[in-house]
Amino acid sequence: MHEKHLRAIDLNLLPVLDALLRHRNATRAGDEVGLSQPAMSRALGRLRDVLDDPLLVRGPGGYLLSPRAEALRAPLAGMLAQLRGLLVAPAFDPAAEQRQVRLAMTDVLAELFLAALVQQVARQAPGVVLEWVPIGPGLPERMRAGEIDLAFALDNTPLPRGAASEPLFEDRLCVVLRKGHPCGGAWTLAEYTRYPSVVIALLGDSASEIDAELAAAGITRNVAAIVPTFRAAAEIVAQTDSVTTISRAFAAKLAPALRLQLLEPPLRNTRLGVVTVWAEHRTGDPVLVWLRGVLRSVAA
């Protein structure tokens, strides 16, 4: 019996029934739900048929609720309020959020803006904890699984399937070497064969676009060391005659303490465009939408 009624009822009739039970007047109820008088009369007829009850009955001062209608009034109002809560996303309040957010980034980005980001998040959302996760193998799969919330990449890196991105900031490459380096104050393509390079391998692959451009010019650079972080590369060149070619913003921040000098590289393209990356199916996650806005503010 109940199963038959659930299949038969039009759920659009529930707000109509709620208005009728509250107003006890078809005209006023119709005005509230946007139905004309004839449409309201038809809706009332369908409700009476489905519920097998008159619902509204004439009394001395107007319409009265039948006992069945009186019993339905409070439960129906509560049920509709719950349905509206399911269908309407609650307003996002970062100050009330309790969550851990994992960010996959290089030590370059951590050095440049992680402290400022933590400061902003602590001010706006003290219950949100940021966790820095190093860049490593399996990153796309971990993002799709929800193990990593946001990652950062160069804008010329092909995005994996199911990923979305937006620009964060722009940087440039520079050649970094110690002050007093024997090459002097200029750097040419030939210098790449004269002095060994320190190479950064984030994913176990030390090849880069720099090597591809040098190979096109018939040059192969000598490698002194392969390291997993940019900071390690900078510290090595600060104490040797090796060089490295890395982010100018990052190198400029380390230069005073490590006594580094920064030179313009003799490369066709020295631009570094950095983007924020996330799993596309989480584009609407309110925490990540808010955090991407904080990131843009900090990076600016």
Q: Write the pLDDT tens digit of every residue in 42-101.
A: 888 888 888 888 888 887 777 888 888 888 888 888 888 877 777 766 678 889 989 999
CB 238 within 8 A of CB 262: no
Top mean-pLDDT range of 17-21, 177-181, 267-271? 177-181
106-136 pLDDT, tens per residue? 999 999 999 999 999 999 999 999 999 988 8
Its sign, for the CA torsion 285, 286, 289, 294, is: negative
Question: In the chain, pLDDT over 70 holds for what percent of residues?
Answer: 95
CB 135 within 8 A of CB 151: yes
Q: How far is CA 7 from the centre of its chain?
A: 40
- Its pTM surpasses 0.75: no
Instruction: Report the interhelical angle of 67-87 vs 13-23 (nearest 10°).
Output: 130
Residue 36 is predicted with a pLDDT of 87
In this structure, what token pair is assigned to residue 281? 């199916």
Of residues 222 and 84, more confidence is placed in 222
96-300 CATH fold: D-Maltodextrin-Binding Protein; domain 2 (3.40.190)
2-87 CATH fold: Arc Repressor Mutant, subunit A (1.10.10)
- Rg for the chain, CA atoms, rounded: 32
168-221 pLDDT, tens per residue? 999 999 999 999 999 877 888 888 889 999 999 877 665 677 878 888 888 888
Residue 160 is predicted with a pLDDT of 84
| Every domain range in the chain assigned CATH 3.40.190.290 | 96-300
Closest by Cα among 166, 121, 146 to 298: 121
Mean pLDDT of 238-259: 95
Of residues 70 and 247, more confidence is placed in 247
Q: How far is CA 260 from CA 49, 191, 211, 241, in A?
A: 85, 17, 23, 12
| Every domain range in the chain assigned CATH 1.10.10.10 | 2-87
